[in-house]
């Protein structure tokens, strides 16, 4: 039986769906994760010592700017357990069709911070 998945229409709902996708991924890897938004931390998800910043895109992130706040760059440079997860194709609504890229940071030589450009926030063009 085919089931139809409703498209996700609001940006907040896209973000929420991506956060839940990452939490499910962490659980599938045997880690306990939770939504850490609103706690004052540098990431959206906390998972057994990991700080995970989640960037959610309704479609493809390729060629799009990826905004990181200065505190997130500081965390990426100083925390070996800072992760950046980019979750794409969220707006169509079916988590089975989401795609994700998990990019480890944790050092100043990381690809996470290598292509950053300073502004009031940090902008990084996403490229695979």
d(CA 76, CA 52): 10
Query: pLDDT per residue over 68-93, tens digit each?
Result: 888 888 888 888 899 999 999 999 99
Q: Is residue 5 part of a domain?
A: no
Q: Is residue 86 part of a domain?
A: yes
pLDDT of residue 16: 97
Count of domains observed in the chain: 1
Q: Is residue 41 part of a domain?
A: yes
Q: Is residue 54 part of a domain?
A: yes
d(CA 68, CA 110): 14
122: helix, strand or coil: strand
Q: What is the mean pLDDT of each run of 10 residues along the chain (128 residues)?
A: 77 97 94 96 94 94 85 87 93 94 62 52 57
Token code pair at residue 119: 């502004």
Cα→Cα distances 90→8, 49, 78, 111, 116, Å: 7, 26, 30, 24, 24
CA-closest candidate to residue 95, choices 9, 12, 20: 20
pLDDT of residue 15: 97
87: helix, strand or coil: strand
pLDDT of residue 67: 85
pLDDT of residue 1: 45
DSSP, res 7: P
Range of the domain at 104: 11-125
pLDDT of residue 124: 59
pLDDT of residue 120: 47
Q: Is residue 87 part of a domain?
A: yes
d(CA 22, CA 41): 17
């Amino acid at each position: 039986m085919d089931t139809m998945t409703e498209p996700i229409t609001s940006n907040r709902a896209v973000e929420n769906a991506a956060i839940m996708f990452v939490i499910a991924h962490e659980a599938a890897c045997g880690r306990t994760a939770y939504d850490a938004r609103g706690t004052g931390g540098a990431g959206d998800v906390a998972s057994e010592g990991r700080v995970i910043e989640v960037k959610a895109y309704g479609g493809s992130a390729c060629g799009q700017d990826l905004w990181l706040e200065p505190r997130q760059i500081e965390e990426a440079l100083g925390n070996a357990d800072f992760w950046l997860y980019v979750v794409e194709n969220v707006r169509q609504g079916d988590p089975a069709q989401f795609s994700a890229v998990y990019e480890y940071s944790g050092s100043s030589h990381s690809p996470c911070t290598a292509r950053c450009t300073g502004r009031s926030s940090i902008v990084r063009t996403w490229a695979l």
